């Protein structure tokens, strides 16, 4: 048995699969993945196929943390950001990255402190494109958020083209002001 496949090869560790994936390759979950850390994809362009499985990770840096590359999330499955010791519980964090979300269910947790409960978060020179998926944030007003200084500078943005949002209207998002 293996956790994930890349190009027909199976890997027991997610980090090994990401390290061996060439740009443009599909990383496909073969079973549920849960970690006390974030799934980090840095300096790569990959497609992550949830393949009807769950990806649960520490939300301090996002269950999925993308940096300096492009990650396309596809396939049905769950991406869930658990509550980290710092009270952050992001599902996806793009930092100087391009993230495309096509499918999946995205959730996170809160202890009620309202700190760091952004479900989908962009910072630096980032673009997050949402084409589909279901988004159910623990704190609905923070379903989508861009780091204020990066948004105001025109460096980071989230573009919504589709998807379903529980208790949140992306057309009336006040995270960056009216």
CA neighbours closer than 13 Å in the CB half-sphere of residue 101: 32
pLDDT tens across 42-74, in order? 999 999 999 999 999 999 999 999 999 999 999
C-alpha 71, offset from chain centre? 9
pLDDT tens across 83-111, in order? 988 889 999 999 999 999 999 999 999 98
Question: What's this model's pTM, rounded to 2 decimal places?
Answer: 0.96
Within 10 Å of residue 177's Cβ, how many Cβ atoms? 8
Beta-carbon contacts of 63 under 8 Å, excluding residues fewer than 6 positions away, are: 38, 39, 55, 56, 57, 79, 80, 81, 82, 90, 91, 92, 108
Backbone φ/ψ region at 47: left (φ over 0), alpha (ψ -120 to 50), beta = beta
**Contact (CB, 8 A) for 125 and 155:** yes
């Amino acid at each position: 048995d293996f956790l994930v496949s890349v190009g027909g090869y199976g890997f027991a560790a997610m980090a090994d699969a990401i390290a061996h994936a060439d740009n443009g390759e599909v990383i496909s979950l073969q079973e549920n993945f849960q970690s006390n850390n974030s799934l980090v994809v840095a300096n790569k362009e990959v497609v992550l196929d949830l393949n009807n499985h769950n990806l649960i990770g520490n939300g301090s840096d996002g269950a999925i943390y993308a940096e300096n590359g492009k990650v396309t999330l596809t396939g049905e499955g769950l991406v869930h950001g658990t509550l980290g010791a710092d009270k952050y519980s992001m599902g996806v964090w793009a930092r100087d990255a391009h993230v495309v979300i096509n499918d999946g269910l995205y959730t996170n947790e809160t202890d009620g402190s309202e700190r760091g409960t952004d479900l989908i978060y962009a910072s630096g020179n980032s673009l997050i494109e949402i084409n589909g998926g279901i988004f159910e944030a623990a704190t609905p007003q923070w379903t989508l958020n861009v780091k204020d200084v990066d948004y105001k500078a025109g460096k980071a943005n989230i573009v919504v083209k589709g998807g379903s949002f529980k208790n949140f209207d992306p057309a009336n998002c006040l995270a960056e002001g009216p």
